Amino acid sequence: MEHVVGKGTKNLLISIDFGFIIYWGLIVFGLIPHDWVFQNYDDLNVKAWNWSFFPLDIAASITGFLGIKGKGNWTLLIVSATLTMVAGGMAIVFWSIQGFFNLGWWIPNLFLFLSGLFVLIKLKRIK
């Protein structure tokens, strides 16, 4: 049974969805070394900003996991890809406004943005 987005894209989506869950697990248990956190992370407003992504990221994961089941659910995949793209894009814009540039944070978030965009374009071509 061929998946609506193909095996490679399905694996990409699974990796991203698990990545969100792993990231939040690391945050919850304080396992990201302080040297690796982004600029001003100790500021309570920045921590609140980061936590504001929690429901967005988890919603992206849940809709992603549900969207890849079976042959794939087109609507859930659109929601997941959109949330993924927004999560990555919002982080990049925030850090751009702050003047914070760190490849360790920019690359994963650019990856999220571009991956979400890629999936949306792929889904548009399928429909």
Mean pLDDT over the full length of the chain: 94
Ranges of each domain in the chain: 7-126
Strand spans (E) along the chain: none
pLDDT tens digits along 35-92: 898 888 899 999 999 999 999 999 999 999 999 998 889 999 999 999 999 999 999 9
CB 110 within 8 A of CB 93: no
Q: How far apart are CA 46 and CA 19, in angstroms?
A: 21
CB 57 within 8 A of CB 87: yes
3-state secondary structure 70-93: CCCCHHHHHHHHHHHHHHHHHHHH
| Comparison of pLDDT for 34 and 114, the residue scoring more | 114
Position 109 pLDDT exceeds 90 = yes
